[in-house]
Structure 1
Amino acid sequence: MTIAATTSSRTLVHPAAKDIRLEAVLHALADPMRMRVVRDLAQEEGAELSCSSFDLPVTKSTSTHHFRVLRESGVIRQIYRGTAKLSVLRRDTLDSLFPGLLDSVLAAAARDADRHEDRG
């Protein structure tokens, strides 16, 4: 007898490493709000952060969209712990698929943020 796996509304779909595409990752990282999430996750190195811990100046529905794009592109993994949805950066996966990409993008984003702060 075969038991079929069921998918609940609390099961989040993540791409397998073999299915992560460079174009999708770059698209996800191109948005300033999503880059902000990735920078925050990278600073916490491996920590699982709740969506509410990110201070994004967007509506809840827009925030949900940004997290979905990051998850579906393979940049983050999201899991439920009780009622909280937690996010973690898929650094190991991204580093193995695209060596140096994440570090380069994060460094460039930090320089860009510093450059814009200097103007203000």
Structure 2
Amino acid sequence: MHKQLPCPEMDEIGLTGVLCALSDPIRLAIVATLEKTGERGWGEFDFPVGKSTLSHHMKVLREAGVILHRKEGTRCWVSLRSDLDSLFPGLLQSVLILAAKDPSVRELMQTT
């Protein structure tokens, strides 16, 4: 059985919320990883933070409307929202290009 965790509808997603969610190096690295690999199991992320901190970052991204989070049995899966680009065309790509130039984000992206 699949269970989608609550996330905002398209008309509830705001630019400031998305930008705020993308303002952290760990969250940028999560988004960059998902952009590169597609849907990924929650436990497959290997960042230098504890599980509760990673869970917080995932919640911020989900509540901002950047990612989708679903449960399948005992596993949790995370993916980028495919419809975010229709709301803010090119935003995610532009942010990820710039994030790849930031040494702290680049280092985190290499750990996954």
Could you state the TM-score of these two structures normalised by the residue count of structure 1?
0.80
Write the distance in 1 (CA, Å) between the matches of 2:101 and 2:53: 26
Q: How big is the alpha-carbon RMSD for the aligned residues of Structure 1 and Structure 2?
A: 1.9
What letter corresponds to residue 88 of structure 1 in structure 2? Answer: S
Q: Deviations over 1:70-120 (max 9, x none)?
A: 000000000011111100001x32211111101100110112249x77xxx
**Larger Rg computed on CA atoms:** 1
Partner residue in 1 for 2:53: 62
Write the distance in 2 (CA, Å) between the matches of 1:109 and 1:48: 20
Q: Deviations over 1:37-57 (max 9, x none)?
A: 00000001xx32111111111
2:20 aligned to 10, 20, 27, which one?
Answer: 27
Q: What is the total number of aligned residue pairs between the two structures? A: 105
Query: Mapping of 1:51-90 within 5 angstroms?
Result: 51-90=42-81
Identity %: 48
Structure 1 residue runs of 4+, over 6 Å off?
none
Gaps of at least 5 residues in structure 1 are: 1-9
Work out which structure has the larger RCO, using CA pairs closer than 8 Å and 6 or more positions apart in sequence. Answer: 2
Could you state the TM-score of these two structures normalised by the residue count of structure 2?
0.86
